[in-house]
A and B are shown apart, each in its own frame.
Chain A
Amino acid sequence: MPNFIDRRLNPKDRSLGNRQRFLKRVHDELKRSIRDQVRSDKIADVDTAHGVPVPKRGADEPSFRNASNSGERHHVLPGNESFSAGDRIGKPDAGGGQGGGRGPGRGEGDDDFLFILSRDEVLDLFFEDLELPDMVKLNLKETVTYKPRRVGFTTAGTPSNINVGRTMRNSFGRRIALHRPSTKEYQAVADEIAALENEPTPSQPQRRRLTALREELEALERRRKRIAYVDPVDVRFNRFERQPLPNACAVMFCLMDVSASMGEREKDLAKRFFVLLHLFLKRRYERIDIVFIRHTDEAHEVDEETFFFSKQSGGTVVSTALEEMQRIILDRYPSNVWNIYAAQASDGDNATGDSERCAALLRDDLMKLCQYYAYVEIIDERESEIFGATDNGTSLWRAYRKVDGAVPNFQMTRIARPADIYPVFRKLFARHKAVQLSW
């Protein structure tokens, strides 16, 4: 007699500790992989779930293993249909199968093994890289719109809001309950009377029947009059309530100087800032459009690919980008429908005299259209110590300082390292007070 043991209630996750050790081990690699993906993916895709290939470094288990591309080997394979001895066969790409067993978890399968990270896990890793102290709810106040929404029925209202279906249903119920004679019933009696009246020589019982029917018809008629087809108590109106709604859509303008001074590092920092802004806005709006405007001495709207990866150089006239943005807003994003956000990343270089013009453009025109405008100046790590909090800096910075004081929904700051981005982001957005826009 064997010994049966029921182990089902034993702790299940015996390997939990092992898995945690494994994740810890590959953690840095996952972070690097997320970072690469942030760099290469579209901004809007950053917070979707990702498959991250199992990082090779840090999680591989090397051993002495025969190389597959050397020496002489012999394979014995089943299923020969057409070969005879001496035939030659072109080699398959992935070196033929071998009879020999390999340990579990080793071998070819490893390569296409992906970790599927959920959206939250991706964001955790993403934010960790930005040195997020903890996920604080940022409170940027957006203007709230109201939309009437149907919420049930009411007995009073305007005729235009009568709900016919519900009214008729009530009336039907009432008619059944009070036994209102139906048209069919009424018609049957009337028809019978007509038939009897047409009789040329009515017999005695027929005449008696006719009298009875006439009385009945009269009774029916009276009853039909007393019980209305549609009574005021049946009537129902649709009820509407004004419901506050988060704004349905937003547009985010990404403005970037792409002149030669914006290198790989600068663009990467800018992209991370834009990604963060996008993640943040996405929590609030059902729909976000992103508009990419890059500029040298002239500005163009471009797609994301071009925005971050194409090389262009030339002079720098920042105001062209602002003009382009203004044009696009007037063209496609009426500010009474769209919540408009803009973030400008630049290294602060600008043509002489243009900075003042930028400031004027912002103050007089753009800031009236925008919910919020953030200017991020990307500076050298060495400069960050010098420029930390002082007012002097590039001409653009100095010009924008004036806007900063005059318009509440304008913020500006400097970043030098990925780790700066999140704190700066919080600074830009958390301090912001409710803004009443004048349109």
Chain B
Amino acid sequence: MAKRPPSSLLFSGSEWNFATLSRAYEAIEEIAIGEMGLDVYPNQIEIISSEQMLDAYSSIGMPLMYQHWSFGKRFVFESHFYRKGRRGLAYELVINSNPCITYLMEENTMPMQALVTAHAAFGHNHFFKNNYLFRQWTDAGAILGYMDFAKKYIARCEERHGIAAVEEILDSAHALMDQGVFHYRRPPRLSPAKVTERTRERLEYEEQTYSDLWRTLPTTAGSVGIEEAEKEAQERKKVLNLPEENLLYFLEKHSLILEPWQREILRIVRVIAQYFYPQGQTKVMNEGCATFVHYTIINRLFDQGRMSEGAMLELLASHANVVFQPGFDDPRFSGINPYALGFAMMQDIERICMTPTAEDKDWFPDIAGNGDGMGTLIDAWENHRDESFVLQYLSPALIRKFRLFHLSDLATNRFCEVASIHDERGYSAVRAALARNYDPSTHRPDIQVVDVDLLGDRQLRLRHRIRNGVLLDEAERDRTLAHIRRLWGYGVSLAGVDTATDRVLYECSSAQA
């Protein structure tokens, strides 16, 4: 056991001040970068009060956000639960930006501030900077500038066109946020406000001058053959680049009735949706990474004799709370806790690398016993999302530890069937099923624009590709269609087509209001 001269403690007691914060930061940084080899954006750490934390929560965690009633609703909701004690506040909030902004709450004790610094400013920060999804899809350097532009732009629209008009567009755009993301092609990079402004102006100019796409006047005075008209329509459709999965993008580019400022608002909502797209796919990994990092760092600090036993005890208690996973029949159960699963998997990977069992060697021949736990983890953090991460790294040992089992649930049956459990025959199946659950395409309805009736009533045709017979919530669906209709300006129809059989399961259209 290392000798612990009391003078080497980073802090004592629970009070914090900026001197202790920065002393702790430096010690943590030394371990995170020097020993663990993390690679992070520069950090900016901001101290806020609990009300401000609630504020930040309710604007989907962005430090800058335009005004909208739904954020007010979220605030009322969150503060209600907070005051009732039904939900604690997060100790921290971290923003994927460059510099990476971490919020610390003023109410936290000093040990907690150290934990949060390790968790957010190094764990999440490293993940944001290195994971391939974030690198590919988000532009950390530009997001704050863009949000600033968005906030000001929308405020300007409210001045010019009235709050109600702007709210109407935002409501509709928010309804399509989940369908406002490019899932497969890379979105255009966020550019600094000035460039954005210039493109927008050019767009406006183009709008005002010419749009051949929607020419409806007959080309010549004489009658044009139907064939020719149809051919023309086919060509236009090709220009429209159908089918299109990003509904917001399609409406922004091709809706006839939107004014330029309304298109810009759609674009803003779309950009924000796109920015958050990777976060939804990496919840387990992101939280697991941050939890693993803080756990490693605080233990290291303790071993170095730079943290007192009291502080360590406090941190272990909150760490245990964070990674607590109640069983499915526990009243506290609300799904698999991404912190618990992520952290356990990362510890497990380290174990497999360092002290593999025979089973591990069978399952993970590439990494078992390679002796480089940290390197293996850094590689995993960089190159996976939750789905592929679980599929690749969930070990039988962990399946047994969590006592995972796989239920298949057919809506028409009154029973769920246990498809497989944590036994020799079940490992792969459980792992595959869990991985599938983290694939966003299993919860996100797949809805695409497939056609526009250019010759007739300009009806927009959407197709919902139904997988496994999972339909849409009907009331929500109809209200959402009404929002699409508002943005499109003409009729909108939606057909649900079963992916397996190509049978049309339902058809509906927006009321012609």
Chain A interface residues toward B at CB < 8 A: 1-8, 10, 12-15, 17-25, 54, 59-81, 83-91, 96-101, 103-105, 109-110, 113-116
The 8 closest A-B pairs by CB, nearest first: A79-B327, A22-B72, A18-B72, A71-B470, A71-B469, A62-B479, A77-B328, A21-B69
- In the complex, are the beta carbons of B421 and A80 less than 8 A apart? yes
Docked complex Cα distance between A114 and B402 (Å): 36
Interface residues of B (CB under 8 A from A): 18, 21-22, 25-26, 42-49, 51-52, 54-55, 57-60, 67-78, 80-81, 99, 103, 106, 121, 163, 167, 171, 174-179, 280, 283, 325-330, 333-336, 338, 402-411, 414-423, 425-426, 430, 433-434, 436-438, 442-443, 445, 447, 464, 466-477, 479-480, 483
With A83-B421, A100-B442 as known contacts, state yes or no: A8 contacts B49, CB within 8 Å.
yes
Q: Which of A5, A24, A88, A96 contacts B46 (CB 8 A)?
A: A5
Q: Which chain B residues lie closer than 8 Å to A66 at the CB level?
A: 443, 445, 470-473
- A98 CA to B338 CA, complexed, in Å: 12
Q: In the complex the two chains form, what is the Cα distance from A308 to B171 in whole Å?
A: 42
B73/A22 in contact, CB under 8 A: yes
* Shortest Cβ distance from A75 into B: residue: B407
In the complex, the chain A residue whose C-beta lies closest to that of B80 is A113
Q: Once the chains bind, are A13 and B55 in contact (CB under 8 Å)?
A: yes
B407 touching A6 by the CB < 8 A rule?
A: no
Q: List 24 A-B contacts (CB under 8 A).
A: A2-B44, A14-B59, A15-B71, A18-B69, A21-B72, A63-B476, A63-B480, A64-B477, A65-B445, A66-B472, A74-B406, A74-B419, A75-B409, A78-B403, A79-B325, A80-B403, A80-B422, A81-B327, A97-B336, A99-B437, A101-B338, A104-B60, A105-B73, A109-B77
Interface of B is mostly: mixed
* B291 → chain A closest CB, angstroms: 16
Contact partners of A91 in chain B: CB under 8 A? 409, 414-416
Give complex CA distance A154, B209 in Å. 97
The interface residues of chain A lying within 8 Å CB-to-CB of B469 are 70-72
Closest residue on chain B to residue A21 by CB atoms: B69
- Among B328, B406, B419, B466, the one with the most A-chain Cβ atoms within 10 Å of its Cβ is B328
Q: Tell me, rounded to whole Å, the shortest Cβ–Cβ distance linking B97 to chain A.
A: 13
- Interface contact B403-A81, CB-CB below 8 Å: yes
Interface centre among A69, A79, A104 (most CB of B within 10 A): A79
- Find the A residue at minimum CB distance from B471: A70
**B residues less than 8 Å from A25 (CB atoms):** 69
Given known A-B contacts A62-B480, A76-B406, A113 and B75 have beta carbons under 8 A apart? no
User: Taking the nearest CB of chain A, how far is it from the CB of B168, in angstroms?
Assistant: 12
Which of B25, B72, B103 contacts A2, CB < 8 Å?
Answer: B25
Known: A15-B54, A74-B408. 9 other contacts (CB 8 A): A62-B475, A63-B174, A67-B470, A72-B409, A74-B409, A76-B404, A78-B328, A85-B419, A85-B426
Residues of A within 8 A of B477 (CB): 62, 64-65
In the bound complex, CA of A388 to CA of B373 (Å): 89
Query: With a CB–CB cut-off of 8 A, which chain B residues contact A90?
Result: 414-416
The DSSP consensus for interface residues of chain A is: loop
Cβ-defined contact, A62 with B75, below 8 A? no
For the complex, what is the distance from the CA of A322 to the CA of B336, rounded to whole Å? 68
- State whether B49 touches A12 (Cβ < 8 A): yes
Q: How far is the CA of A59 from the CA of B77 in the complex (A)?
A: 12
User: Is A72 a contact partner of B470 (Cβ separation < 8 A)?
Assistant: yes
Check B409 against A65 for contact (C-beta < 8 Å).
no
Q: Are the C-beta atoms of A18 and B335 separated by less than 8 Å?
A: no
Q: Which residues of A contact B467 (CB under 8 A)?
A: 71
- Distance between A227 CB and nearest chain B CB, rounded to angstroms: 63
Q: Tell me, rounded to whole Å, the shortest Cβ–Cβ distance linking B54 to chain A.
A: 8
Interface hub of A15, A63, A70 (most chain B Cβ within 10 A): A15
Can you name the residue of chain A whose Cβ is closest to the Cβ of B462?
A: A64
Closest to B437 in A: A99
CB distance from A203 to the nearest CB of B (A): 78
B175 in complex: contacting residue of A7, A62, A67, CB < 8 Å: A62
Q: Which residues of chain B are near A101, meaning CB under 8 Å?
A: 280, 283, 338
A3 and B99 form a contact (CB under 8 A):
yes
Across the interface, A14 reaches (CB within 8 A) one of B52, B406, B466, namely B52
Q: Which residue of A lies closest to B61 (CB)?
A: A104
> How far, in whole Å, are A209 and B362 apart by their CA atoms in the complex?
115
> What is the minimal beta-carbon distance from B491 to any residue of chain A, in angstroms?
18
Would you give the shortest CB distance from A56 to chain B, in whole angstroms?
10
Q: Most chain-B CB neighbours within 10 Å: which of A12, A64, A85, A98?
A: A64
Assess A70 versus B470: contact at CB under 8 Å? Given A18-B71, A85-B426. yes
Q: Are B334 and A97 in contact, CB atoms less than 8 angstroms apart?
A: yes
Complex contacts, A7 vs chain B, CB 8 Å = 46-48, 52, 103
Q: Which residues of A contact B283 (CB under 8 A)?
A: 101
Judge whether A4 and B52 touch: CB under 8 Å.
Answer: no
Residues of A contacting B402 with CB < 8 Å? 78-79
Residues of B within 8 A of A6 (CB): 18, 46-47
A5-B46, A13-B55 as given contacts; A70 in contact with B404, CB under 8 Å: no
Partner of A65, one of B26, B46, B77, B472: B472
CB distance from B430 to the nearest CB of A (A): 6
Quick one: closest B residue to A69, CB to CB? B411
Selected contact of A63 from candidates B175, B403, B471, CB within 8 Å? B175
B residues less than 8 Å from A23 (CB atoms): 72
Residues of the A chain whose Cβ atoms lie less than 8 Å from the Cβ of B474: 67
Please, how many angstroms separate the alpha-carbon atoms of A69 and B473 in the complex? 9
Bound: A2/B33 CA distance, A? 14
Contact yes or no, A3 B45, CB < 8 A: yes
Are A100 and B438 also in contact (CB < 8 A) when A64-B447, A80-B403 are? yes
A71, A79, A89: the one contacting B416 at CB < 8 Å is A89
Chain B residue contacts of A65, Cβ below 8 A: 445, 472-473, 476-477
Instruction: List A contacts of B68 (CB < 8 A).
Output: 18, 21
Residues of chain B within 8 A (CB-CB) of A78 are: 325-328, 336, 402-404
Of all chain B residues, which has the CB nearest A110? B77
Minimum Cβ distance to chain A for residue B116 (Å):
13
A397 and B377 CA atoms in complex are apart in Å by: 89
Interface centre among A59, A69, A73, A96 (most CB of B within 10 A): A73
- A75 and B406 contact, CB distance less than 8 A: yes
Question: Contact between A5 and B47 (Cβ–Cβ < 8 Å)?
Answer: yes
Partner of A19, one of B22, B72, B121: B72
Q: Which residue of A lies closest to B68 (CB)?
A: A18
Knowing A12-B51, A66-B472, A105-B73, the reply to whether A5 touches B404 (Cβ < 8 A) is no
Give the contacting residue for B74; candidates A2, A4, A104; CB below 8 A: A104
Query: Bound complex: CA of A96 vs CA of B166, how far in Å?
Result: 39
Asked whether, in the complex, the Cβ of A1 is within 8 Å of the Cβ of B26, the reply is yes
Q: Please, which residue of chain B has its CB at the minimum distance from the CB of A10?
A: B52
Contacts of B69 in A (CB 8 A): 18, 21-22, 24-25, 59
**B55: contacting residue among A15, A79, A83, CB under 8 A:** A15
Residues of B within 8 A of A64 (CB): 178-179, 445, 447, 464, 472, 476-477, 480
Q: In this complex, what residue of A is CB-closest to B436?
A: A74
**Cross-chain contact A63 with B176 (CB below 8 angstroms):** yes
